[in-house]
Amino acid sequence: MAQLSDDCFAFGGPMMSVDEAVGLITTRVNAIVDLETVALVDADGRVLARDLAAPLPLPPFTNSAVDGYAVRNADLPASAEQAFPLDGRIQAGGLAQASIKPGHTARIFTGAPMPPDAETVFMQEDVRVDASGRIVLPPGLKPGANVRPAGEDIPQGQVALRAGQRLRPQHVALAAAFGLTRLDVVRRIRVAVFSTGDELASPGEPRAASQLFDSNRFMLMAMLRRLGCEVSDLGILRDERASLARGLKQVAGDHDLILTTGGVSTGEEDHVKAAVESIGSLVLWRMAIKPGRPVAMGIIDGTPLIGLPGNPVASFVTFVHVVRPTALALSGALPEPLLAIPLRAAFTYRKKAGRREYVRASLRRAQGGGLEAIKFPREGAGLLSSLVETDGLVELGEDITNVEPGQDVGFLPYASLI
Ligand code: AMP
Ligand code: MG
């Protein structure tokens, strides 16, 4: 399990910026070190454990990029078209012919190995065949055209994938192109997930009149799975210090991260803080972010705990800025900073300076052809419809105090967040 010191989340200032939070997490959280080997077909989404140097060049041999005719550079027609007798035919997967006679051309197909003494290929669309069956090649083709030299994509020995790379389908393709069948990856981190609150009922269980069904736990578990975590669903803890403490303490030993939602603001019925303090250490991060409230950061027996606010939208947004970088750091993944895409606002908005705000917005095609963001009409942090009916978050930086229609803003699509 990840062993972190009790004071690793300590923070001196009264308000923490989003950047400070991410910086603190990435410097203080240590990656787990356990590795495992997985088959290539199971590697998508996993974190590569070691640098991968190319065991062979890509492409492995020099080959034709088109269907056409190969010639020696010395024979390239300079100023007028020229007829070449045929010398050979090379198919993809066939053997390269040892040489090509001077003043001749060889029929060649896409992916077929180049004869060692031919360097250029004419596309078949650019040639014609004369009455005696010779291939007439036009002048002016650049030497080396339409040829893919061995190693032009990746030279042998070059580090092609870095340790910490979260593998996506294109990385799996690269490993396959090297002929690998298995990859060393970091084992999945194990995350314990609890909801807290007497007002919550689990879907599938009876719901009292004053209860609502727990939605955050299912959202958070789905987000964690998308980050490659192994998730333990630990249900709902009641708003009671001792049972909270017991529940949290029990899972610290065999999880790498504990995630809770609800009960971290400062009301009398918010017991997560006291519960964690009774069995470990805890700090409340007052983050300069909206929506969001204090986020609890704690350590129980060396295992980090993150307590997210209960309002679904606050929970979602703080997950993105606190849980996501923590899960990536624990998993040994390279940091994946969130880069907002610039587009036009189609709304008016006022905000306070000094904090970052995330506005739920949908995209639509603007009249000029670009994209513009339309703000969801209501703002409550409890509105699940606001997450469901929008495409992502407009990110308004600390310095911004108002937004006018037509202004450039940054947009984070939901798909880029997890
Ligand atoms: P809390 O952070 O515990 O004060 O909760 C803030 C609001 O979020 C309250 O209205 C809760 O009912 C709601 N809430 C808390 N936990 C959840 C949850 N797991 N699913 C849905 N709503 C929740
Ligand atoms: Mg609560």
Tokens of 409: 């803003």
**Integer angstrom CA distances of residue 172 from 60, 317, 343, 346:** 18, 30, 32, 40
Predicted structure pTM score: 0.93
Q: Is the CB of 261 under 6 A from ligand 1?
A: yes
CATH number of the domain where residue 93 is located: 2.170.190.11
Residues 132 and 252 reside in one and the same domain: no
Q: How far, in Å, is the centroid of ligand 2 from the Cα of 380?
A: 17
* pLDDT tens digits, 167-203: 999 999 999 999 999 999 999 999 999 999 999 999 9
Please choose, from the candidates 400, 398, 395, 396, the residue with its C-alpha nearest in 3D space to the C-alpha of residue 411.
395
Show which of 275, 301, 330 is a domain's final residue: 330
pLDDT given for residue 2 in this prediction:
66
| Pocket lining: 195 vs ligand 1, CB cutoff 6 Å | yes
At 74, list the tokens: 């010395």
Same domain, 373 and 405: yes
Domain span at 219:
18-34+187-330
DSSP string across 311-351: SHHHHHHHIIIIIHHHHHHHTTPPP----PEEEEE-S-EE-
Are residues 316 and 196 located together in one domain of the fold?
yes
Residue 4 inside a domain? The answer is no
pLDDT at position 410, please? 98
Instruction: Indicate whether 268 pLDDT > 90.
Output: no
Mutate to test the pocket of ligand 1, among 202, 207, 261, 269 (most ligand atoms within 8 A of CB): 261
Do residues 346 and 310 both lie within one domain?
A: no
Ligand 1 mutation target, pool 273, 311, 313, 385, most atoms within 8 A of CB: 311
The partner residues of 396 in beta bridges, in order of sequence, read 357
Structural domain contains residue 39:
no
The 10 Å Cβ neighbour count of residue 415 is: 9
Report DSSP state, residue 287.
B
pLDDT at 350 over 80: yes
Same structural domain, 104 and 77: yes
Pair (141, 113) in one structural domain: yes
Bridge partners of residue 305, in order along the sequence:
258, 298
Q: In this structure, are 294 and 397 located in the same domain? A: no
Statement to judge: residues 323 and 350 lie in one domain? no
> Does residue 315 share a domain with residue 251?
yes
Domain endpoint, select from 330, 355, 383: 330
Residues 136 and 254 placed together within one structural domain of the fold: no
Number of domains in the chain: 3
Q: Is residue 9 part of a domain?
A: no
Q: Would you give the end-to-end CA distance of the chain in angstroms?
A: 23
d(CA 328, CA 290): 23
Instruction: Tell me the per-residue pLDDT of 326-345, one tens digit each, with 9 for 90 and over.
Output: 999 999 999 999 999 999 99
Structure tokens at 397: 């930086």
User: Using one digit for the tens of pLDDT, what is the confidence trace for 92-131?
Assistant: 999 988 899 999 999 999 999 999 999 999 999 999 999 9
Ligand 1 pocket check for 99: Cβ under 6 Å: no
Query: Which atom of ligand 1 lies closest to the CA of 217?
Result: 19
Judge whether residue 292 has pLDDT over 80.
yes
pLDDT for residue 266: 80
Instruction: Tell me which ligand sits closest to the C-alpha of residue 313.
Output: 1
Ramachandran angles phi, psi of 113, nearest 5°: -65, 140
Percentage of the chain lying above the pLDDT 90 cut:
94
In a domain, residue 52? The reply is no
Give percent of the chain with pLDDT exceeding 70.
100
Choose one of 194, 196, 200 to mutate for the ligand 1 pocket test, by most ligand atoms within 8 angstroms of C-beta. Answer: 200
235 plus 316 within the same structural domain:
yes
Which residue, 330, 358, 390, sits at the end of a domain?
Answer: 330
Nearest-CA residue for atom 17 of ligand 1: 310
- The owner of tokens 């078949």 is 124
Give pLDDT, residue 208. 98
Q: Is residue 102 part of a domain?
A: yes
Shared-domain flag, residues 130 and 107: yes
Mean pLDDT confidence for 371-383: 96
Position 1 pLDDT exceeds 70: no
Distance from the alpha carbon of residue 238 to the mean position of ligand 2, in angstroms: 9
Q: Which amino acid is at 81?
A: E
| Structure confidence at residue 269 (pLDDT) | 84
In a domain? residue 316: yes
Q: What is the pLDDT of residues 220-255, one digit of tens each?
A: 999 999 999 999 999 999 999 999 999 999 999 999
